[in-house]
Amino acid sequence: MAQVVIGPHTLSRGALVPVKYKSSSRQTAKVAGDGSVSISGTDLVERFYSIRTRLPYAEAKKLYTYIENSLRFRAETVQVTDSLGVTRTVRYWDGDLDASTGGGAFTETDLVFREEVIA
């Protein structure tokens, strides 16, 4: 797995991958009285990414504490840099943290982030 940085945390193992590519906007389309279409809303496009990690328990615990306390789950944005050096401003998007502890004291988890892009 390649190196990923989440805010101040450089993960020893992790990969940033797009969740099934889906691009959507927050526009609302309505049909006007004359049959024309009226679009309102924002040009914001949402893109979702997953960071798949397999971390030593102590490292995973520090990351989870950061997400819970510093990011306050969805409340704050964070800079995430992938293995190619591309930095995105994202927001942790799950409402909880779900991890599995495997053999060898490693913890595996998928962390879902949302990137907010102006189209």
List, for residues 24-50, the tens digit of each pLDDT value: 666 777 887 888 887 777 677 788 888
C-alpha 83/C-alpha 72 separation (Å) is 25
Domain of residue 30 covers 4-118
* CB distance 74 to 48 below 8 Å: no
Q: Is 96 a residue whose pLDDT tops 50?
A: yes
Number of domains in the chain: 1
* C-alpha atoms less than 13 angstroms from C-alpha of 105 in its C-beta half-sphere: 5
Q: State the pLDDT at residue 119.
A: 64
List, for residues 58-94, the tens digit of each pLDDT value: 888 899 999 999 999 999 999 999 888 889 999 999 8
- Total-model pTM: 0.74
Q: CATH number for the domain including 16?
A: 2.40.30
